[in-house]
Chains A and B, each alone.
Chain A
């Protein structure tokens, strides 16, 4: 075990862990919320706006088109954004410690 350097003291501080976890959790929750609103909103739309969701688009009902096809790219976009931001966040943390 090498002797602790100043930056290691900072890494092991309570404050660092607290900000680290809070920032990462905030990002995860923001992405999860976008996803959950869409996913959990779908049954509600089906329930309260059945006529709208039965609208035909190229043979599909709107409800079928969203769930059977469009939902997949929507989730890809969320995950792509999450990865971009979480990598940036990690680099930022590394920088803040090594400074």
Chain B
């Protein structure tokens, strides 16, 4: 209670008002559209009357998560140039989806990846294996969303502990999904996209007009080889950088702090006189390796995200699926130009964030930067900060809801409805859906409470790395190679995906062990891993960015095992390939999912 009174004075009513309106409108719209769509086929088929533009907005709305809205700006501010690979690959990964997967998958008529896995190989067993990764990828994806929620609430209500924000937002969204408020979400997600793009761009235009443009702020950083920064201090009044901030040269140029962390740690463990020689020899090559591994993870991972692929079935046919993908790339590409600008301006004008950790660190730059305007434009600063907070709410709410629907669906339909109780009635399944939603929401909230010191964007990158090594090889190879067998697909997907999963988990545990706060004590037993990595920086890079070895591993295993078990390839594989690739006008399309699913399709 004392805490509440103490913080009440620091709360900005504008920020609270904008955030509250976003939450209320989202919940209200969700319930309104849920009334009109009762079953799974309603959910998907209803979308088919929606135009390509709305559909593309909805996909973009679901895709732009806390990582895009807050995480990229935070990471550009903390690490500089190297963080730009994230927005570029988040947007361009859709090209792989467009070129190799979107059209065929839509023609096949399976709603989800587990549906596809079962239909392509006529194997209910494979469906059960495939469904695991909906949960694995989903949990890695929800952790950063929860951190976004914790950071935003800790910013709006100063003094509120990080975990309280995670629990509050997580509980609201979980209840909303469990009560059925997020079924017919196409319209809600579409509106969320436009809120996000408005919330990220308008503050930038105002900030740039007052404090100088993107290039001007970037120019204030002195690149290596330059005698002085091209933009003088007179034009941009930079604040002094704290001790923890990276220097100008590594920040503004490639191969900076993000990709050289492992080598720098290894150098720090060496005797002082060997450090310079070691860095000169290893820093850039290892950094290049890191960069390539990151690119593979993000580009391939985009094409294997379960909650995004589901949305392609709201397209009437393969051609519309392709058109939608192109519009998604345009919509999110426009969005992704803006977040790095926050990071660049934040470095010059709000460097005190470098000193903060967790919820007080650079991940909140998008929320706090507009308040600078208060000095010059008064209340405009608060309003714009309120707008970015509203955008952040839209970001983690839409993505968390979408993930929760996918994961709950997987648990309720596949695990309960098909494995545990195949004979259950629709009412029982509806109840199972609610229990599953609460269960998954609870796990996501618990995980979210532990990750305060990890960067939002980095965690989402890990979810992409897991998707890249599991679903991407599965989809890509199943669509284009007839020789695939169920055993080959399952072995490759499981091995690649689990390797990526373990690597990502180890990286996070080792980072948490370094925390000076309570998390460091909880995970202290993983401290030894950091010493091991200091001696073997290459292994650390391969663990932190596993895609460069897990994706080829998965594909190689698929090919080798499929060749070895060629006799067990599905008998009617030619017909399946024809359905995947022949234009719809030839009338070969079959709807794989029949109405039997509709009962469970809450």
Binding site for B on A (CB under 8 A): 11-12, 14, 17, 20-21, 24-25, 28, 31-32, 35, 39-40, 43, 46-47, 50-51, 53-54, 56-61, 63-64, 67-69, 71-73, 75-76, 78-80, 82-83, 86-87, 90-91, 93-94, 97
Q: Please give, as numbers and ranges, the residues of chain B lying within 8 Å of A24 by CB-CB distance.
A: 581
Q: Which of B279-328 contact A (CB under 8 A)?
A: 284, 288, 291-292, 295, 299, 319, 322-323, 325-326
Q: Chain B binding site: helix, strand, loop or mixed by DSSP?
A: helix
A40-B295, A43-B254 given as contacts; is B91 within 8 A of A75 (CB)?
yes
Q: Report B-chain residues with C-beta under 8 Å of the C-beta of A39.
A: 88-89, 92, 295, 299
CA distance A75 to B302 in the complex (A): 15
We find that the number of chain B residues with CB closer than 8 angstroms to chain A is: 61
Asked if B329 lies at the interface with its beta carbon under 8 angstroms from chain A, I say yes
B81: contacting residue among A56, A64, A72, A94, CB under 8 A: A64
Q: A35-B92, A61-B218, A93-B582 are in contact. Are A17 and B336 (CB under 8 A)?
A: no
Q: Which residues of A contact B84 (CB under 8 A)?
A: 64, 67-68
A60-B215, A61-B223 in contact; A82/B98 too (CB < 8 A)? yes
User: Which 4 residue pairs spanning A and B have beta carbons closest together?
Assistant: A59-B215, A59-B219, A72-B333, A46-B254
CA distance A72 to B295 in the complex (A): 15
Q: Are B230 and A20 in contact (CB under 8 A)?
A: no
Contact A79 B582 (CB under 8 A): no
Whether A28 pairs with B333 at a CB distance below 8 angstroms is no
CB-based contact A25/B95 at 8 Å: no
B167 to chain A, nearest CB (A): 36
* Given A12-B578, A39-B92, A64-B252, 7 new contacts (CB under 8 A): A12-B574, A31-B95, A31-B99, A51-B225, A59-B214, A72-B88, A93-B582
* Complex: A67 Cα to B223 Cα, angstroms: 16
Give the secondary structure class of A's interface. helix
* Distance A39 CA – B291 CA, assembled complex (angstroms): 11
Given contacts A32-B96, A68-B340, A94-B583, contact A86 B322 (CB under 8 A): yes
Instruction: Give every chain B residue within 8 A of A93 (Cβ-Cβ).
Output: 582-583
**In this assembly, does B380 line the interface, its C-beta being within 8 Å of a C-beta of chain A?**
no
CB pair B329 A75 closer than 8 Å: yes
* Interface pair A59/B231, CB less than 8 Å apart: yes
Is the Cβ of A76 less than 8 Å from the Cβ of B252? no
Q: Does B224 contact A (CB under 8 A)?
A: yes
B585 CB–A CB distance under 8 Å: yes
Q: Are A59 and B319 in contact (CB under 8 A)?
A: no
B100 surroundings in chain A (CB, below 8 A): 28, 32
- A11-B322 contact given A63-B81, A75-B92, CB 8 Å threshold: no
- Report Cα–Cα, A7/B323, bound state, in Å: 28
Instruction: Verify if B165 is at the interface (C-beta below 8 Å from A).
Output: no
Question: Could you tell me the distance between the alpha carbons of A58 and B212 in the complex, rounded to whole angstroms?
Answer: 12
Known: A20-B581, A24-B581, A97-B586. A63 touches B99 (CB 8 A): no
CB of B223 within 8 A of CB of A54, answer: yes
**Is B85 part of the binding interface, using a Cβ–Cβ cutoff of 8 Å?**
yes
Closest approach, in angstroms, between the C-beta of B335 and any C-beta of chain A? 10
Say whether B218 contacts A60, CB under 8 Å. yes
The docked-state distance in angstroms from the alpha carbon of A47 to that of B91 is 24
| Contact (Cβ within 8 A) B223 A35 | no
- State the Cβ distance, B316 to closest chain A Cβ, in Å: 14
